[in-house]
Amino acid sequence: MKVIEKQALKDEEKMELQEIQLKKAKHIAEEADQEYEEVARRLFDYMIIGESIYI
């Protein structure tokens, strides 16, 4: 029974670590999405300003 309990404890610790890693990965992905949106918005603004100069 001890072996099963030890394995269960290891599995639980591994799951907790994976949950932490998942939260970090989601946070990084959200930050990347926000940065992409900002860059896309700036590029769009730049393109609009550039077009208005030539009109």
Q: Has residue 38 been placed in a domain?
A: yes
Position 55 pLDDT exceeds 60 = no
Q: Structural domain tally of the chain?
A: 1
Q: Which residue has the higher pLDDT, 20 or 4?
A: 20
How far apart, in Å, are the Cα atoms of 24 and each of 11, 16, 27, 34, 37?
A: 20, 13, 5, 15, 20
Domain extent at residue 34: 24-55
Dump pLDDT digits (tens) for 10-44.
999 999 999 999 999 999 999 999 999 999 999 99
Is 53 part of a structural domain of the chain?
Answer: yes
pTM recorded for the entire structure: 0.71
Q: Is residue 34 part of a domain?
A: yes
Tokens of 29: 């992905």
Q: Could you tell me which residue, 55 or 36, shows the higher pLDDT?
A: 36
Cα torsion through 51, 53, 54, 55, rounded to 10: 90
**Residue 51 covered by a domain:** yes
